[in-house]
Amino acid sequence: MRISAELPRGAQDVPTATDALANRATGENFPVALRLLPARHRRHLMAVYGFARTADDVGDQAPPADRLRLLEELEADLFRLYAQSGGAGRDAGRSGGAGRDADRSGGAGRDAGSGEGAAEPPRIDVIRALGPAVAECGIPMQPFLDLIKANQQDQVVSRYRTFEDLLGYCRLSANPVGRIVLHVFGCYTEPRAELSDAICTALQLAEHWQDVAEDLRAGRIYLPAEDMESYGCSAQDLAAASAAAPVRALIAFEVARASGLLAAGAPLIGALRGAARAAVAGYVAGGRAALAAIAAADYDVLRGTPVARRRRVAGELVLAYARGR
């Protein structure tokens, strides 16, 4: 059964073709797969993007009563992929918890095998599309599991008390993507992963600050409650047509935090060469341009979503690539 078959209109038939996914990717803060990258890297990155977008679509657009079940099916199919590749057991040992996640998933690990122990192939398009990237790049399973877990968390957690709590969510919803990207380019090391985490967390925060009004309509507030209290803001203030001065001051504060994280991770660009350097420079450029767009809107993220101009992103990319930060 295809998970996409159970999504509501507008989220059905989640595409797996590179061109179709690229069209969706144009709405993101950063170039998901820059056209200057080698074709192999583009294919792998678009497969990863397809998986992440599908998990998000299930978590945000499927009927609420079905979301957790559909996410569990996505998780089970991921285990099938790794069992088929013969890497599920090895990955569980490296990832520090994938084996335990398998136990929690209601038998996903057992479901991965059938008959006389033969691995059952994945059933879902976006999971099958991950196969070449997983096989060729040695991507561990845990980052994919974490992305699913972030969407599971969205079903039960709609607000975060502290900034640290929100950073914990970003460790599931954003940081795994950067770690996967490092594997795709064959340049993963733990020090590089830590720099990548700072970049990815900053990108996730930038998206949250852009989408305050949209998230509120979905019943979620990612602005930390203690920060809202400090600036005298309430949920009712976030529902206004335009941001009042306290809300703008709060957003400015949060933008500065995200900018600091982005600056802390940007030296990763200088640690890379070739296509990997270009890709990470693109991510950093997208984050900087998005945060600049919020500032240019005078931090009024309620009147409309501040969107970075492509020219600004391109300019930031050239500077980041040249400076290595």
In whole angstroms, what separates CA 170 from the centre of its chain?
8
pTM above 0.75, yes or no: yes
Asked if 248 contacts 297 with a C-beta cutoff of 8 angstroms, the reply is no
Local structure of 195: helix, strand or coil: helix
Answer whether CATH 2.60.40.2470 is correct for domain 157-325.
no
Non-local CB neighbours of 314 within 8 Å, separated by 6+ positions:
285
Q: Mind listing the pLDDT tens digit for each residue in 48-88?
A: 999 999 999 999 999 999 999 999 999 999 999 999 987 54
Q: Mind listing the pLDDT tens digit for each residue in 253-288?
A: 999 999 999 999 999 999 999 999 999 999 999 999
Bridge partners, 114 (sequence order): 118
- Residue 75 CA to residue 141 CA, distance in Å, equals 10
Closest CA to 206 of 146, 275, 256, 273: 256
Structure tokens at 57: 């679509």
Break the chain into its structural domains and give their ranges. Answer: 1-139, 157-325
Q: Mind listing the pLDDT tens digit for each residue in 7-27?
A: 333 333 333 333 333 344 444
Q: How confident is the model at residue 168 (pLDDT cuts 50, 70, 90)?
A: very high
What are the DSSP calls for 289-316, one per residue? HHHHHHHHTTT--SSS-----HHHHHHH
pLDDT given for residue 31 in this prediction: 53
